[in-house]
C-alpha cells in the first residue's frame, strides 16, 4: 500500500459458485473482489478499494457447486490510485 492509502475496515462475504471455478482461481478472485466491494460501498463512503483478499471454498449439498467464503480489508484511496 502506498502512503496515501488508509485501512478503514475489513469485510467478510460468502457466495455460491460452480465448482468448475476452482480450477480457475482468477475467476473466484474476481468474484470475491466484486462481492466484497459491493458490500464495502454500502458501508464506507468515499473512494475505497479492497485489498488482501483471502478465500476458501467447501462443497455444499448441491452437486457441482461450492460455497466460497472471502475476506478482505477496505482502504480509502486517492481517486486516481484505485486499482485491483
* Chain segment 15-36, per-residue pLDDT in tens: 999 988 778 888 999 999 999 9
Does residue 83 carry a pLDDT above 70? no
Cβ atoms of residues 49 and 75 within 8 Å? yes
Q: Is residue 84 part of a domain?
A: no
Cβ atoms of residues 71 and 14 within 8 Å? no
Rounded-to-integer distance, Cα 40 and Cα 68, Å: 18
Determine the distance from the C-alpha atom of residue 54 to the mean position of all C-alpha atoms in its chain, rounded to a whole number.
Answer: 8
Domain harbouring 22, CATH code: 3.30.110
Residue 73 lies in domain: 6-78
Grid cell listed for 5 = 492509502
Rounded-to-integer distance, Cα 53 and Cα 83, Å: 14
Total domain count, the chain? 1
User: Tell me, what's the pLDDT at 23?
Assistant: 80
- State percent of the chain over pLDDT 90: 63
Which is more confident, 40 or 4?
40
- State percent of the chain over pLDDT 70: 88
Amino acid at each position: 500500500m502506498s502512503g496515501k492509502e488508509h485501512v478503514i475496515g475489513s469485510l467478510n462475504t460468502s457466495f455460491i459458485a460452480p465448482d468448475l471455478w476452482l480450477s480457475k482461481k482468477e475467476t473466484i478472485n474476481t468474484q470475491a473482489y466484486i462481492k466484497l466491494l459491493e458490500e464495502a460501498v454500502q458501508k464506507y463512503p468515499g473512494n475505497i478499494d479492497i485489498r488482501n483478499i483471502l478465500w476458501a471454498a467447501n462443497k455444499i449439498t448441491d452437486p457441482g457447486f461450492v460455497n466460497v467464503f472471502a475476506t478482505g480489508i477496505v482502504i480509502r484511496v486517492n481517486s486516481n490510485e484505485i486499482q485491483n
